[in-house]
Structure 1
Amino acid sequence: MEVTRQFGSSRRAFVTAGITAGSAALAGCIGGAGSPSESDGSYTVSMAPMGDLEFDAVPEDAFVTFAQYADMAVALGHGDAVNSLHAPEMSGSTMSKFYERLPGVSFDWEGLENPLDDGVTKEQLYNAESDVHFLDPSYVLTTQNDWDASDIEDIADTVAPWVGSYHSGVHSDPAAAYADSYEYYTLWELFEKVAAIFQERKRYEELRSVYNETRSYIESNLPPEDERPTAARVTLGDGVFYSYHLNTPGFWQAETRPLGARDALADVEWSGDWGTVNYETMLEADPDVILHLWGITSRYAIEDVRDRMESHAAGSELTAVQNDRVVASGMRYQGPIMNLFQLEMTAKQLYPDQFGAWPGYESGQSYPEIPADERLFDREQIANIVTGAGSDGQ
């Protein structure tokens, strides 16, 4: 499939490390880390289930739904390309809480439209005229009305390619149209595909190196399995907990699986992407730590979550509640930068003796300041990679 388009010149303002839109430096620095893009002509990126995707130039306008792709674009120096975002007031503000700890890195999310507010429509995509759609076509077929495989192909042929792997989140079943072509990717494998689309191999490799070092350090310092805490990864709803596993395959578990804690809900099964359990089930599992998913977002106040548990007859008996180990966890839609912070956060929440105490999180505030000697990765190094200032931390 070949996509031939003239990219428009209207781009949202984005400022990072003093580089402003319209400056002479922008054209060169928006490519590889501080250098022009790696390809000046057409190129192909192969990715299941879409197949071979051909680009005539690096995308300048990207239709984005879930936050992991916005985070990937920012990480690659192309955050200005993002023209939409699901739940921007939650996703964008959460991303910014992490970026505020990275000198010179920012993301202008305010004013972005939520493409899922009224469902994805063909008219919406035609009107947006994006250069790439970071949305799994299988997600569209399984969740949106009035779409079929021919519509997917028409958008790809006349507007721009689809890029996504929603079902890699928990290795769920794809739409029937992709049953024979679907593949499951890890978060960092997805990031590699996105880096290829933006022609940013160097930035990807540098960030991947930091991730590998961070993960290796964490895994080599984990306590023996029988000394690890039990944990439940849940979100408190109205009298129930929306539940997720810790150690199962999929990029939704990218910040918990490497930590190898004992999943208090490992024996509880559900058929969808997540389950629901009641207070009685939680009390039976009685985890040492409760990781409250979405707890760092604007959608939940962790202080309120704790109060609600403490005021419930069964909730007040939970060990995690009594020991003040109900903690604010991150987002499952995480890209590479978010993943590094969420790995650090969760490692400290689960294993304070090994990785330093988690200072706690106060609702509405930035990611908490961590003493330099207790950080699990170098903020300056990440910032330099993202902004193109170099990756040696100098």
Structure 2
Amino acid sequence: MDFEITPRMRELQAATREFIAQKVVPYESDPRQTEHGPTEDLRRELVALARQARLLTPHASVEMGGLGLSHREKAVLFEEAGYSPLGPTALNIHAPDEGNIHMLEVVANDEQKERWLRPLVRGDIRSCFCMTEPPPGAGSDPGLLRTTADPVDDGYVINGEKLYITGATGAKLAIIMARMPDGSATMFLADMDREEIRIEEQLTALDTCFTGGHAHVRIDNLRVSKDDILGEPGRGFHYAQVRLAPARLTHCMRWLGQARRAHDVAVEYSRERQAFGKPIGHHEGVSFMLADNLMDLHAARLSIWHTAWVLDQGRDGGLESSMTKVLASEAQWRVVDRSVQILGGSGVTDRTIVARIFRDMRAFRIYDGPSEVHRWSIGKRIAKGVA
């Protein structure tokens, strides 16, 4: 296993760190951040800065205009981007577009890549991934998928509801998972501005870091052609795994940067804030929490790197990504929670960025599969003797 930081990685790390500090952090107090995420105007302004810095959509292939990063290179760059809540938006590596870009590169045909993928890589448009449904539809159990795609003439008619769809409001492209008459699942590509697709409700969530927020989407009699199928009919669940295994890992990478940011703020405060005759960082109650933070950050980073290495070897990485999703999300949450505790009043108000990170990160233990579902999946592998 190779944990070496190559010269290229160090160059990417330094360039991204400087870009985030000098160009992105000053936007953190910009009023164009709403309860449903950065506005489209703010997103485009940040994207323009990343384009100038030649850091835009770095995970995309060189052919599509990206940097063609390996998973280990992404681990370095994405952590640095995540140091600011606006960093992933600026670099166009935010969810769901980051995972959608990866999947389209692997699965889409040449015509679909030119129509949808290239504008996504340029940051000209956004996308959403329409899979989760209201109960009793698909959630952690995708087998409960209720959205249907019925054959008609040379295409299909799609009907259904989708819930908690990140980035749906303002997105140009919808990737829709629907059930075929034979019970298999297929992914379809559609314009989000079709009148048959409508936003039923804009949901108010704990997090405020995703442009477009989260929405309840209804699809009524949406007619699509066979050319709108992503990949092959009936392979939707397989393609979902193509998307989800790396996407779980990149979530961990980005949030590692925010956890490190919260820790850094807490460290600085612990050195300056006096209590009972000395800086609070000299009291064991605080110093032990900071030590635990450092160990959790270290453990999360090692887990991310291990899984990135596995994926770089061309292996499936499903088991490793599930383990890392649980290990990293829970470790990073502990770091942020301790940082709030150390900061006291400053940690629960807008006097520091830590309260914002706290709100955003709580959802991370649920996104891309809650910890309990991953534990259940890992446990099944153990019972079958394949883990």
Q: What is the TM-score of this pair, normalised by structure 2?
A: 0.24
More helix by share: 2
RCO higher in structure (CA 8 A, sep ≥6):
1
Q: What is the TM-score of this pair, normalised by structure 1?
A: 0.24
More strand by share: 2
